[in-house]
Amino acid sequence: MNHADLSDSVATSLGLSKAEGKKAVEAVFAAIADAAAKGEEVSVSGFGKFKVSTSAAREGRNPATGATMQIAAKTKLGFSAAKAVKDRLNG
């Protein structure tokens, strides 16, 4: 399912136009991204948690040359599914 399919599904289930469905989906994504940019955890009851984590800078190797290189620190967004979603996936 892609962005358009998700927007259409939301629009159909809520009785909205496709444009309104797209706006609703984009608003949810924007709210999650804004909260993550602030370092906040987003918890959606019955669905899961979006959690911000950081990885420290570290030393790595270039696989082609074997040369040592510095890998910069990163901020990542992870997702943990809620038990209800895991149970639904595993039947």
Query: 3-state secondary structure string, 9-34?
Result: HHHHHHCCCHHHHHHHHHHHHHHHHH
Residue among 49, 50, 51, 47 at smallest CA distance from 85: 47
Amino acid 91: pLDDT? 81
Amino acid 5: pLDDT? 95
Helix (H) or strand (E) holding 35: helix 18-37
Amino acid 48: pLDDT? 96
pLDDT tens digits, 43-91:
999 999 999 999 999 999 999 999 999 999 999 999 999 999 999 999 8
- What pTM value is reported for the model? 0.78
Helix (H, G, I), strand (E, B) or coil at 45: coil
User: What b/e string do you get for 20-29 counting C-beta neighbours within 10 Å, with b at 16 or more?
Assistant: ebbebbeeee
Write out the two tokens for 19: 């444009």
